[in-house]
Structure 1
Amino acid sequence: MRKIKKIHKAISAPIDDLVTYRALPTNSVEYIDPFLFLNHHGPQVYKPGNRGLPFGPHPHRGFETLTFILDGDITHQDTGGGRDVIQAGGVQWMTAGRGLIHAEVSSEKFKQEGGPLEILQLWFNLPAKYKMTAPKYIGLQKDKIPVVTEDAGKVKAHVISGSWRDTKGPIPSLSDIHMASITLQQGGRFTAQVPAARNIFFYVVRGSVKVNGETAAKLHLVEFANEGDEVQVEALEDSYILFGHAQPFNEPVVAHGPFVMNTEEEIQQAFQDYQQGKMGRWESWD
């Protein structure tokens, strides 16, 4: 079995009135190459007449984002031409590449009516050769994400990128990142084989699981060593996890706010390019 290095608890990091837990980076784990950042927003219930999500227009360069909408919704717009509203159960994958400006806010309907909200955003690094690739955005509603059922229906893997068993995810990954969200009923089990050289991303969103003999509860990130290739998971209660893996890039990571590059000089260039409008100019929601 794959050896577990450490289990890290996400830290509380609220943003305005948005309940937020950050699993990456924290004082105990900086990143798991190429997985850079994870914010877990909610769960919480918004009252009618709320302001919704606070993520107005802001730039990005040098990495990709994957957003999971468990409850609530997200209205997305970016200077690359991407625009839609993704409902609960859907995902958004954005390749910032050489740079764009985007906003992620709640729909007018959600702001008027309120309701439950729980959203997670995961950042993947891009290798140096793809840092300046063209921006791209893909939004998928729940019914566009294939589901693989195991253990007599107790385990359901929602395949996003890469593959799960013989099912391929609908989003192509520049860096061969495999990602799935997995729901497990109490007692549900699955086993996955991941080559030892690849880094695993494993975060417990809800519930509690036993993974390779150790217990990981909600709001915990499991960091694996690169020893062994089998991951055995059993749900101790109804649970929801994010599970992925990728080959590490082993490149320098220099991050400053919304930009992730390989050198300080590239970070300074990113700020200059943003200020000069090279990542697009934000008009308005129309």
Structure 2
Amino acid sequence: MSPPVFRFAPSPNGYLHLGHAFSALLNADLARQSRGRLLLRIEDIDRARCKPEYEQAITEDLAWLGVTWEQPVRRQSEHFDAYREALGKLQALDLIYPSFESRGEIAQMVADRGDDWPRDPDGAPVYPGSRDSLSEGVRRARMDAGEPYALRLDMRKAVKLAGPLTWREAGRDAPEGVIAARPDAWGDVILARKDMPTSYHLSVVVDDALQGVTHVVRGEDLFWSTSVHRLLQTLLGLPQPTYRHHRLITDSAGRKLSKSTQSTALRTLRADGATPADIRRMIGLPEP
């Protein structure tokens, strides 16, 4: 039997904080305990916000924590062709369509529909448009004219094609560890844009499959995103990992940490004299 494969996949758009430390160390601990492998993936599809200096800081912080990973490191920005190929498969199934509304136009569309308009699991309004709002000919003409657009998944059609979905969850209480996926709660999610051939949802499932990841261990803020990932895995014929969604490290007000919170940045804590053992105590992880 092949060893389990774990991964830590930060975005280099800021410095790592205590929440990242928890996820990275938990993945490393689980990989070691199961005699598995740990991969590092740099999720840098947002080239405007991701910086080389942040990637360098990520490797420095992880090394200081005592986390080791296999080489080579996978950088998403080096694999856009793989995401285009996956998008092409979805297009061949007639599951993708372009939308042209700006963020402001979408906000106005939502406002026009009233306060009871549905929201996705993250609390954002579900996309209020649909594939039927424009003919295929009009959509193609607008794309050919160079207008900005987003490529969306036709959720209703995709769910019908995929059928009922579940995932194996090791991090929450669930009957037999199985969670019923609810991808339709997200509406017609964006999978790419005119100037970006992928999105988080698309690239993460492609990367996990290509890297042979068997165990996805990540924060519970991504719990219901797994519904979309299971849908895409099924449509693309990709394997299903086991998922474990861990608790989040929060600030004194109970808010999820962000990279702008310098007081919890690992580099700041290290400069103030903290040790890797101190970090483990602060996030509630025992010594290995």
TM range (shorter): under 0.3
Which of the pair is proportionally richer in strand?
A: 1
- Structure with greater helix share of residues: 2
- Asked which structure has the greater CA Rg, the reply is 2
Higher RCO (CA < 8 A, seq sep 6+): 2
